Structure 1
Amino acid sequence: MSVTPLRALPLDELRQRSSSKWRTYPADILPLFVAETDFPLAPAISAALERAVRLGDTGYTPPDPGIARAFAGFAERRFGWTVDPTRVRTTGDVMIGVVELLRAVTSPGDRVVITPPVYPPFFDTVIEAGAEVERVPLVPPSPDDAGGRWRLDLPGIEAALAAGARAVLLCNPHNPTGTVHTRDDLAELARIAARHGAAVVSDEIHSPLVHPGVRFTPFLDASEEAARIGYAVTSASKAFNLAGLKCALMVTADERTAAVVKALPWEVEWRTGLFGALAGIAAFSPESDEWLDGLHAALDDNRRLLADLLAEHVPAARYRIPDAGFLAWVDLTELGWGDNPAAKIRREAKVAFHIGPYFGTEGAGHVRINFGCSPEVLREAVERVGALVRR
């Protein structure tokens, strides 16, 4: 059955928004940097928020707002993953959950493995939790292999854990590469972590946005060992553009890990926004599945369009079409625009991409492009870069 792609909102309407994407730079700059999308809210979410405003339902979030059950239903429908709602606890956002879980599973000064290039807050949250960053970069695909995939450096992670690292902070699907780690790799990661008595905290915020033909494996569902030593943190905020409403989920699949989450301070849960919980319930409901399918169709078109546009206008760019999400990791090293080509592009082409080196030293010469926009905006952005290349 064919799905009609969602249409992004027009630029003049988007520029009325007050969020970071639209207020960080002047109006002459096309913003394709921060991970906000340009689509209208899912109707079920709009209805839930409008009802709350009409009722003045703006108080504290209750102990059980219903989002754990809603997420369990979503996980079963979309991933074939059975989640026990009693092992789901809320907090304000995914990075709050990550910090609190790392505090719970490490001691001050312990080392935590991250896999750069990776979402910039990973570096900061490890430090905020009182631990130290242990970098084990992803293994990049061969430049000659157009269909190649980024992979976890499993021997490197094992060496780090054998040398004393106490946890792995996983990004699955991975930001910025868009990689969806395979079940086999996740199961092997779990075996390695279990062998060394380490925990795995998996950020799965992009999981609702896995593209056609790709199978997402939740870390906790990868194996019995993964269920025993893992923690997942997720949210509706990326797929449904709800970051400002502040609600994320910490999920466990074992009695021992559930006890760790239950023992977190009450304040961790109190940081949950009521509007975030209400919107998340609506997002995870079957009523929003059709909207999400339309978003998938739009993003699938755009990830392929970006490949065509770069080939036409910026042929020196290297880009692997991502498995998930609306973020593209693009290597512009061959243009000779330095470690941070985003600065030149923003200054001279009036397009804001995310800064590659923020994702680690592996990001030198790279940019991250948000293609969660209209095809017209994406085309205009790449054409502006192409004009800069031809100067």
Structure 2
Amino acid sequence: MRAYDAVVVGGGAIGMASARALAGEGLSVAVIDRGRLGGEASSAAAGMLGAQLEAHAPDAFYALCRESRAMYSNFAAALLEETGIDVEWVENGILQLARSEGVAAALRERMRWQRAAGDEAVWLDPAEVRALEPATADDVLGALYLPRDGNVHAPRLSAALRACVAGLCDVYEGEEVVAVERAGAGWRVRGARDVYAADRVVLAAGAWASPFLRALGIPLEVRPVKGQMLALRPPRGAALRRTVYDAGTYLVPKRDGTVVVGATEEPDAGYDKRNTVDGLAALAAKALGAVPGLRGGEWVRAWSGLRPRLTGEAADPVIGPWPGAEGIILAVGHFRNGVLLAPITGRIVASAALGREPEDLWLPFWPPARFAARGGDVRANTPER
């Protein structure tokens, strides 16, 4: 049996950022993943840092996203220094297109409350949209420009986090965790190959978290939501400089000149990551509708990822210690925002592991505050085995 201060179950961006933060506090840490670190949703993501794009109201989730976005410049610089890998962080802005009067009105309202919150949000008329991105559709009535939203190269982020974690922690890839059990005052993580003892266990298993939650009696469920994506290379003269978003479809330009287009949202696909003709055809049609200048571009590749969405009334992520199961720390349900929220989640997990009081910003996501406020039974079923 191998013993650690903390074992992180799940090696996506959330699990790796948590492990890095824990190791940075001087804890001995193991990271266990059923596959390769960063091999699932984290490296499949478009890499958007859309704190303003993803928010639908000036609420706690919006505040959390803004805080994590603000951390990204230093986060990316630190990963470059620690690993030599550039995650290609860029603050190039996002254009949310309005192609109907109803969407235009909704975007103007979004602009109003985001400005009131102190964010930058600019309304552009059609001529200003085409001046910034000439390849966009002729029927655009305007756009909301979010200059502070940006993106990273998700596979490079996963590679950088993996290299960093490998230098700070013990890494067990290809190790299927079969049980997390109480063992005296601590915990025992049973893998298919070995057993790992820990004072704390961080559950960051993404779309595969539900079996662990159920076994511990934690009344949360995470389901996979399949997202198909594609990459293309624009024809000469039609390169995008900013992310373009239209009716749920986003086109994210990367440093190598390709554009990542995403994503379908398929909650009933289970764990099937196969690309489908109809899914990719619909995605390509939406992309060309928003940016007709991409017609004639080169098809590069297609892939899919499984995003972890919490079911139930409140789908925001749950991050922090679980009441009634001392030493269990959750980092689950980040859905489309695992890449964006990785830096702040690492900070929250490390604070939970060290028994620090949560910051006010975290309370809506911090289990003791979030679930006690709902009046639910938050105790876990954690028998010793």
Please give the TM-score of this superposition, normalised by the length of structure 2.
Answer: 0.25
Please give the TM-score of this superposition, normalised by the length of structure 1.
Answer: 0.25
